[in-house]
Structure 1
Amino acid sequence: MDFIRQSEVIQWEDGEYKTIKENSVDDEYTYLFIDYLPPRKFSTYPKDLEDFAVGYCLGEGLIKDYSDIESIKLDGTNVLVSTKLSHDPEEDLEQEGIVQERKGNCEHACVCRLLEYQGVNSDSAGGIRSELKTIEPIESDLTIDATQIIKDIENLTAEAKIWQKTGGVHVAQLKYEDNVIIREDVSRHVAVDKVIGAAAIEGYDFSKCYISYSGRMPADMLIKVIRVGIPIIFSNSAPASSGIDVARAGNITMVGFVRQNRFTIYTAPERVNLEK
């Protein structure tokens, strides 16, 4: 099922208008229930949700490896994840740096945190910005040819089937040797979570993988990728300055504005073979 809805709309162009049928993404709310943590809410393109759950847990540092997950159950768009680490709300509050008292303030803090989680998305849930200091720089000898970067973005566009039909999703692509994983979602973060999760399930060596995707590259996206040990990321869009800082700190190669026959390398250029 493609989760695409067709609507009758009016199209205006150069003073003329007509009624046509237009496709749009039928996005839905997805809730992640991870151990005993408060639920996390996301607006998603509701396919490949198991991949998303695995990738999210890895990118947020909630697990170290796919083997840390005991079970994943789908109930509609609700995803129930059980891990060997049995995370609880108090641990989550500590990760966020929330100071709480054991008496009256504790209950208040828990309630406020629950309300906050009911409205957050993958780029802000889990305290990833506050955990930057815990991320070790990536050591990887993976390299990529300059011409391959262009080819990969072209393939990304060619394989973005839902985007081609609707224009309403982001697409992410993960490559490992001769293997390619492509996932789409209304959220660029969830799209990347999905390819990371799918790669983890397949047992790929992340130090030999790289990601290309559509969308900006802010700090939270880079931290997600660095956490799992992927050394190269590139996009047809722009980086944020926070993303550049994180990419430099994590020794990740970040390439932006990949368009036709050009791109811009922001960090760790040694992984790009510029002569090819």
Structure 2
Amino acid sequence: MEFIRQSDVIQWKNGEYKTIKENSVEDEYTYLFIDYLPPRKFSTYPKDLEDFAIGYCLGEGLIKDFSDIESIKLDGSNVLVTTKLTHNPEEDLEQDSIVQKRKGDCEHACVCRLLEYQGVNSDNAGGIRSELKTIEPNNSNLKIDATQIIKDIKHLTDEAKIWQKTAGVHVAQLKYGDEIIIREDVSRHVAVDKVIGAASKEGYDLSKSYISYSGRMPADMLIKVIRVGIPIIISNAAPASSGIDVAKTGNITVVGFVKDNRFTVFTAPERVNLKK
């Protein structure tokens, strides 16, 4: 199902105007319930939500790999995730008395200590990903050719079906050998979460994978890439200075400004074969 809506709009061009049909993407609020943590709210393109949930948990450091997830249930736009992490909700409830009943399925406590224990904060709008207490440098020896970077961004654009129809989403592409996963979403974070989650489900080695996507690269985006062990990220947009700093610390390769037949390598250039 494509979540696309058509509207009657007025198009102005060269001093003339007319009424036409225009496509727009339908976005919805998605609530992500992870164990006993407070629910997290996202604006999403509501497809591939299971992939999103897995990728989000990985990128936030809530799980180490896909096998840490016991179950994922989709209830409309709600996503209910149960992990194998050991919590002690009764003890936490004694200190934090806010409990939410959700359709009789389980109880969710507002547990600050639990968030601290799992090393993640929540701002209810996507998670605060810009805080990383420790960064282990990525030692992956993955290398890509310069010409492949140009091809990857072209492929990203060619296969971005919802973007082509609406221009209202971001698109992310994960490549592992000859395998390619593409996902789209109104949120650049969620698009990247989706490809990471899908790749984890397939059992791909993320240290031998890389991401191409449409969007800026600030620290909060790159920290998730560092957490899951992906060594290279490519974008047609720019990194922020915070992104460059964290990429240097994490030793990941950041390639930006990919357009036509050019690009800029900001960090760890040894993973790019510049002679091809």
Q: Common fold, TM-score beyond 0.5?
A: yes
One-letter code aligned to 2:43:
S
- Pick from 115, 119, 125: which aligns with 1:92? 115
C-alpha root-mean-square deviation of aligned residues, in Å? 1.5
Unpaired runs of 5+ residues, structure 2, are 90-110
TM-aligned CA distance change 1:97 to 1:41, over 3 Å: closer
Match in the other structure for 2:263: 263
1:217 maps to 2:217 = yes
One-letter code aligned to 1:216:
R
| Structure with the larger helix share | 1
TM-aligned CA distance change 1:97 to 1:177, over 3 Å: closer
One-letter code aligned to 2:271:
R
Match in the other structure for 1:160: 160
Deviation of the 1:129 alpha carbon: 2.0
Match in the other structure for 2:131: 130
One-letter code aligned to 2:250:
G
Does the 8 Å CA contact 2:30/2:44 hold for their aligned counterparts?
A: yes
Match in the other structure for 1:42: 42
Q: Distance in 2 between matches of 1:191 and 1:242?
A: 21
Q: Distance in 1 between matches of 2:164 and 2:131?
A: 37
Query: Normalised by the size of structure 1, how large is the TM-score?
Result: 0.89
One-letter code aligned to 1:243:
G
Query: Normalised by the size of structure 2, how large is the TM-score?
Result: 0.89
Match in the other structure for 2:27: 27
Match in the other structure for 1:169: 169
Does the 8 Å CA contact 2:174/2:182 hold for their aligned counterparts?
A: yes
Q: Distance in 2 between matches of 1:175 and 1:25?
A: 26
User: Which SS does the other structure have where 1:134 is aligned?
Assistant: coil
User: Which SS does the other structure have where 2:131 is aligned?
Assistant: helix
Q: Distance in 2 between matches of 1:50 and 1:97?
A: 20
Deviation of the 1:130 alpha carbon: 2.2
Does the 8 Å CA contact 1:96/1:130 hold for their aligned counterparts?
A: no
One-letter code aligned to 2:67:
S
1:76 maps to 2:76 = yes
One-letter code aligned to 2:76:
G
Match in the other structure for 2:179: 179
Size of the aligned set, in residue pairs, is 253
Deviation of the 1:97 alpha carbon: 9.1
Deviation of the 1:15 alpha carbon: 1.3
Unpaired runs of 5+ residues, structure 1, are 99-112
